[in-house]
Amino acid sequence: MQTRKLGGSNLEVSAIGLGCMGMSFSYGPPKDRQEMIALLRTAVERGVTFFDTAEVYGPFINEELVGEALAPFRGKVIIATKFGFDLSGSDKRPGAAGLNSRPERIKQVADASLKRLKVDVLDLFYQHRVDPDVPIEDVAGAVKDLIHKGKVRHFGLSEAGVQTIRRAHAIQPITALQSEYSLWTRTPEKEVIPALEELGIGFVPYSPLGKGFLTGKIDENTTFDSSDFRSILPRFTPEALKANQALIDLLGSIATKKNATPAQIALAWLLAQKPWIVPIPGTTKLHRLDENIGAAAVELTSDDLHEIESAASKITVQGDRYPERLEKMTGR
């Protein structure tokens, strides 16, 4: 597995990371703990060194899972986690939970995450969503304090807008921005990616496979359990899934030529955009893990990229990526 550096920092990680959320949360009931521990350890054996979790996944149980699974590899892997949701209420789902990035809360989360992850320092600590009630300068200042105390190494933001990124970066340099980015969610290209390049900030796309859609295994007949987050997403209605099948056809045609899968082409396309982009596809299945890792070896030529761009420009993706309430939490 090749490695990449996130932006101008010295944080070096595997070119493809592993998003761990779905092991405990959001895509149906939590998966078998021992099976997920085995999968995480296999990922390390396959060369993955970058793992993504968050306090709110579960809540708490995903960090505990990742902490237990990766304990034998301490110092050899990078674990990213996140703060920013208010988990004091009875409904602790992101979106249902409110936001809380007050400095005292950030410090409480850091201490709790250190214990659950069984580490002495958090490698990368993201603000999960921008909190409009707390100035971003206060948030960056709180993380800066944690860095000075040796509890955190790197600061990150998630789904932040350009002005917020600039203001935060002026207080405490940001190592990485994590936001959704894929062939069917290209919003960051307009303003965010140029700003990241200018400031020397790495980019970590989550849902790089479109929450599973870009694997080509989901169509308008796919049904989602009520415990599956996709059941409330406008882009996963049968009508939208049918309309967006054109993207799968495009990926499939390139995949056939490259002796690859649609998912591998989708990930290879992201890797080809910038050398400081590190996607974090999530999976709970070993064969998918191997497929995703294999994407790092798929080389897309300039002709391939031009062909994808030309075809994709003619496809209008149908359906918003989030319901309005959740969409309002992004891009601030």
Which residues lie across from 179 on neighbouring strands?
205
Instruction: Give the CA count within 13 Å in the CB-facing half-sphere of 29.
Output: 2
Report helix, strand or coil for 152: strand
What amino acid positions are annotated as catalytic residues?
57
The set of residues, in sequence order, having a beta carbon less than 8 Å from that of 255 and lying 6+ positions away, is 261, 262, 264, 265
Burial of 177 (0-12, 13-18, 19+ CB in 10 A): buried
Q: How far is CA 285 from CA 34, 40, 281, in A?
A: 13, 10, 12
Nearest to 62 by CA among 80, 43, 85, 48: 80
Distance separating the N- and C-terminal Cα atoms of the chain:
35
